[in-house]
Chain A
Amino acid sequence: MISLFSAYKKNRFLIAELLKQNLFTQYKQSKFSLFWIVFNPFFQIIIWSILHLSGFLKIGNVEVPYVIYLVSGITLWWYSFSLYESISNIYIKYTNVILENRFDILVLVVEAIIRQTIFFMIHLAVLFVLCVIYKITFYPIAVLYPFFIVPLILFSVALGLIFATIRVLSVDFAMIFDKIFGLSLFLTPILFKPTFNNTVLKYIIKFNPLSYLITFPRNLLLYGKSPSFFVVIFIVVLSITSIVVAMMYFEKMKYKTIEKLLQ
């Protein structure tokens, strides 16, 4: 974490230029750029809302309007997935830049975190608008929400850092993990409350770290519920351990990964 802050502090101008480049050029040729930023994850919401309305999806008792439950969960999952995806692709996306410029590669990681956080804030703003429409009132403890998403950020960044290296050295492993992460949308209590009887699914959800990292801030926001002490300890230990291990692995493998970029 200290390395990431240090990279930010030393390279603020380069990060700002990369951010500007990525934010503006991504949708430069579009007339509805903001719409596309908001629409992409919300396309999922439309699909799941249709399935819910048609009766296909048994969501369980979620205590709040389904769209609020869905958006509050999917926004967090999308943020996590986007962090993982953009960080794990830095070597591939910036191959020429890395091979032809001497700079701290963590700059690219910091830029990806800031960019995805901007998108997350836009999605969060939409969630708050929906909450106002549905007259959802928040519990006072919800002010701690920004702190409670930190473990999710650390865990997603850690996965991104590890798979940035793996994507260069063994692309098949990275592609398998991409699919697993995509599948986690259905194996995390985001679209429904896990009240089913299937033992295998129960175990998968129980041992899926995203189940805790996502439900922790969402339950706090929607229901004012904080998890048990042991869950909090688990979340803190998991996120700190994962980021420390990931940073060490990323730094250790940095030169070897760069050497393999053109092979």
Chain B
Amino acid sequence: MSDIVLEITSLSKSFSLLGEENIFSLLFSIKSRSSNNIAPLKNISLNIKRNEIVGVLGINGSGKTTLTRIITGIYKHDEGTIIKNGNIVAIFALRSGFNPLLTGRENIYLKGAFYGLNKKEIDENLNEIIRFSELEEFIDKPLGIYSSGMRAKLGFAILTQVRADLFIIDEALAVGDKNFRTKCMNYLVENKNNSSVIFITHFQEHLQNFADRILILNNGMIEFESKDYTEATSFYNTIKSKQIDE
């Protein structure tokens, strides 16, 4: 088994904007001459080792979500290579994929199915999911009455039953109370021997005492990398201040 769970080399991605292409190139996927392409990712190279927790910090629009979608296979990249040595599960927003008309319990089955769990696996782990979510009282109520924090709790609780070699968590813990966030972080650290984690956020404090390595993504490029939290956040704060000045 390879020690590297994900290997990305010289990855680039550009998008043409809808409305910039003529109708035939659009409908038949012919390469257009449009120069108004935006390039959210430029020449990204990145290795993730087994059992490693990597934090990716980036301001809004730095290419974080595009990177996650490409690694997961939702978007196709234009250039470069991606080698995956294992199963990858991405969590964008823990609240997504839920149906507000269904109860919390029914949503466990729905969201679990999207994560690739089967009915037997969910049946066997249902009580554990409900216990982890701390939503015992509300589990048979429609999700429509849940707060965003409660939905995030339920989302993460389902995730605890998903087996993957690499989890990519994209801004997924941005909502919810601090105690629950700590509980989730602890869970990820304790289960580190089973999986690697890429934790993507624009809140630097989420990565303190948590990430083994921090990458700073800016303008679609990895501009800085460090194992030292203070060093990485100092660089990140410089980028943030530049953005505010501009």
Contact = CB atoms under 8 A, between A and B. Distances in A.
Contacts of B96: 96-97, 100-101
A99 to B, nearest CB: 6
A100 B109 CA distance: 17
Residues of A contacting B: mostly = helix
Interface string B11-31: 000010111000100110100
The CB with the most chain A CB atoms within 10 A, among B18, B75, B90, B119, is that of B18
A259 interface: yes
A17 B105 CA distance: 12
Contacts of A173: 27
Interface in B226-240: none
Interface stretch (B45-53, B66-74, B129-137, B184-192): B66-74
Contact of B101 (A28, A96, A255): A28
B92 interface: yes
A258 B15 CA distance: 11
B221 interface: no
Counting from the closest, the 8 A-B pairs by CB-CB distance are: A14-B113, A100-B92, A263-B18, A255-B76, A25-B101, A17-B113, A100-B96, A101-B114
The CB with the most chain B CB atoms within 10 A, among A29, A97, A98, A252, is that of A97
Interface string A160-196: 0000011001100100000000000000000000000
A103 B102 contact: no
B118 interface: yes
B26 A169 contact: yes
Contacts of B23: 170
Contacts of A103: 114, 116
B97 interface: yes
Interface in A1-39: 13-14, 16-18, 20-21, 25, 28-29
A102 B90 contact: yes
B139 interface: no
B8 interface: no
Contacts of A202: none
B99 interface: yes
Interface string A72-100: 00000000000000000000000011111
A135 interface: no
Q: Which range contains the number of B residues in contact with the other chain?
A: 20 to 34
Interface residues of A, number: 31
12 contacts: A13-B117, A18-B113, A96-B96, A97-B97, A99-B74, A99-B92, A100-B90, A100-B97, A102-B89, A170-B27, A253-B29, A263-B19
Contacts of B4: none
A78 to B, nearest CB: 25
Contacts of A102: 72-74, 88-90
Contact of B26 (A28, A101, A170, A255): A170
B18 A169 contact: yes
Interface string B93-116: 100110101100010011001111
A58 interface: no
Contacts of B89: 102
A206 interface: no
Interface in A109-125: none
Contact of B110 (A17, A100, A260): A17
A253 B18 CA distance: 14
Nearest to A162: B27
Contact of A17 (B29, B90, B101, B109): B109
Contacts of A169: 18, 26-27
B74 A258 contact: yes
Given A97-B114, A263-B17, A255 B75 contact: yes
A256 interface: yes
Interface in A226-263: 252-253, 255-256, 258-260, 263
B114 A259 contact: no
A15 to B, nearest CB: 9
Contacts of A170: 23, 26-27
A164 B89 CA distance: 26
A169 B89 CA distance: 28
A16 B110 CA distance: 9
Contacts of A258: 74-75
A255 B76 CA distance: 6
B93 A166 contact: no
Given A100-B92, A100-B93, A259-B15, A13 B73 contact: no
Contacts of A252: 29
